[in-house]
Amino acid sequence: MPGDRQAVKGFRRKMLAAAVIYGLATLLASGLWGIHMRAENIIMIYLISVIVMMIEIQEFVWGTAYTVVCILTFNFLFTEPRFTLRVNDPNYVVTMGIFMAVSAITGLLVSRLGEQVRLAQRNENRMEALLEISSGYLTLSGMENIVYYGIKSLYQAAGERCVVYVAQGPGGLGKPYYIKSYFPEPGMLDNDTPAQWCYMNHTVCGANTGFYGDSGWVYLPIRNRDTCLGVIGVYTDGREIDDGHMVFINTVMSQMAMAIEKEGNPAKNGEHDRGCQGTGPKDGWKDQLEQELYHGFCLPLEDILKESDALGPGLRLKLCTLYNRLRNMAVQPCLDRAVPQDGENVDFAEAVSGTVDFYGRAGRERVIWIKKPQEPVLVHGDRELLKLAVSNVLDNALVHTPAREKVYISLGREQGYGILEVSDSGSGISFQELQHTLNGSLDSGAGLSGGLSVSRQILDKCQGSLVIKSSRYGGTAVILSLKATGN
């Protein structure tokens, strides 16, 4: 069997590694004994070899067995009487006991460290996969394209074989979507009864649940708020899906739900006008934000970023950039049509600090505060919109500055205004690029230029200003000014 051959191959690799480490340690110990080094120094050689063994194999049982072999070898070759397993000096018994304890502790620490490394690597791989999947959904259209893209993404990124049912009116599911090559064995596919039950009850069912628990599949409702848009079945063959894996599946599923709803959204056929001041089922820019991209894409991505501080700075910066672009796309139509009506007194300093913290290590390791107020800097505006404006400016600086270079932030009150300056040491900006940046739109492919354009529109709505100029650090400086409130 392939699994047995793989196990034998792994066992041989571990045996070879243990033999090489043991041979080198014994050879070095014999050399030290030949030049009359003390036994305490020799036992340290074996202790180091145990640590190397633990790091290489990362299995506690193997490390324990190797430790016992090292203790017996030390006793046999380097303690009197030599070439026996007897011990004349009681001190050696204590030394061997300490050796065993230190080796056991080291083995536990290395094993746990290895688990954390594997977990961090798995999470990073998932985040990279989610970044790629999210980007793909932004340009998809057509129900079949959307569904098959989700099925392929889950298989390629997580090895999960899925079937998707899309709702076809009240109480009914359409035909199942699946890729035949993912199910080579006859009988792997299930009947439609559990999927219909899941859809009617909006409840998870299938393997390891209280409903249809003997099935080899688990069925999850594809929901967007209170609406069930369909059902996704994940083939488990009786295994239980761990929590981290389920979060990944649910995140991809929520993105699919948003794309399915948008594809079948009557607003696309002109039945409703859902502008900021429209007459559709949602009014106000915040409701529009949730209705379109915020609920389906931004919220899952925001949760991931808040809970995954261990992500590398480069990957986290990419995910934050994607998050900003999605929010910009949702906010842009509303900024073009209406002025937000829910202005309030906002602590500008808190908004800026929160934005820096949101970037995690990408922010903490590269952002230097030149001037940071100790007191609140109150300005009038919309809290979420101002945070988005600051985030766009900071993202622009971090992305367009070399990875090892710093970004400088200065914030304070000057002549009745709250003024934020974000400066970088990048390549700077020409007059033509400046005009393109401030006039660019999100549909033009301008990328981050669209982000600065959105920031300028937000500042305009809040009776503030955004100015771009050359930075004293050699790059670009973006200055946000808002009229301060209070004393």
- Flag whether 133 is in a domain: no
Using DSSP's 3-state secondary structure scheme, residue 9 falls into helix
Q: Based on the domain organization, do 103 and 166 belong to the same domain?
A: no
- Flag whether 72 is in a domain: yes
Per-residue pLDDT of the chain (487 residues), as tens digits, is 555 677 788 888 889 988 999 999 999 999 999 898 888 888 889 989 988 888 888 777 888 888 889 989 988 998 888 888 888 888 888 888 888 888 888 878 877 887 888 888 887 888 888 888 888 887 788 888 999 999 999 998 888 999 999 988 656 788 899 999 999 887 888 888 899 899 888 889 999 888 888 889 999 999 876 678 899 999 988 788 887 788 888 888 888 888 887 776 433 333 333 333 333 333 444 554 455 555 556 666 676 666 666 667 777 788 888 888 888 877 776 675 544 445 678 888 898 888 888 876 667 778 888 898 888 889 888 888 899 999 999 988 888 888 778 899 999 998 888 999 999 887 666 545 555 555 544 333 333 346 888 888 888 888 888 888 888 887 888 999 998 887 5
Look up the CATH number of the domain holding residue 169.
Answer: 3.30.450.40
Q: Based on the domain organization, do 15 and 68 belong to the same domain?
A: yes
End-to-end CA distance of the chain: 78
pTM of structure:
0.48
> Look-up: residue for tokens 């949101």?
358
- Flag whether 103 is in a domain: yes
Q: Is 36 exposed, middle or buried (0-12, 13-18, 19+ CB in 10 A)?
A: exposed
- Flag whether 272 is in a domain: no
Cα separation, 14 vs 248, in Å, equals 33
Q: Based on the domain organization, do 252 and 308 belong to the same domain?
A: no
Q: Based on the domain organization, do 383 and 464 belong to the same domain?
A: yes
Q: Which of 86, 120, 154 is the last residue of a domain?
A: 120
Number of domains in the chain: 3
Q: Based on the domain organization, do 157 and 291 belong to the same domain?
A: no
Instruction: Give residue 353's pLDDT.
Output: 87
Q: Based on the domain organization, do 105 and 192 belong to the same domain?
A: no
Token pair of 51 as six digits? 């640590």
- Flag whether 279 is in a domain: no
Look up the CATH number of the domain holding residue 436.
Answer: 3.30.565.10
Q: Based on the domain organization, do 211 and 298 belong to the same domain?
A: no
- Flag whether 273 is in a domain: no
Q: Based on the domain organization, do 333 and 449 belong to the same domain?
A: yes
- Flag whether 128 is in a domain: no
Cα separation, 299 vs 71, in Å, equals 56
- Flag whether 278 is in a domain: no
Contact present, 83 and 77 (Cβ < 8 Å) = yes
Cα separation, 272 vs 295, in Å, equals 19
Cα separation, 420 vs 409, in Å, equals 7
Q: Using alpha carbons only, what angle is made at residue 151 by residues 147 and 154, rounded to the nearest 5 degrees? A: 135
Q: Based on the domain organization, do 444 and 406 belong to the same domain?
A: yes
Q: Based on the domain organization, do 111 and 16 belong to the same domain?
A: yes
Which range of residues forms the domain containing residue 236? 140-264
Q: Based on the domain organization, do 295 and 363 belong to the same domain?
A: yes
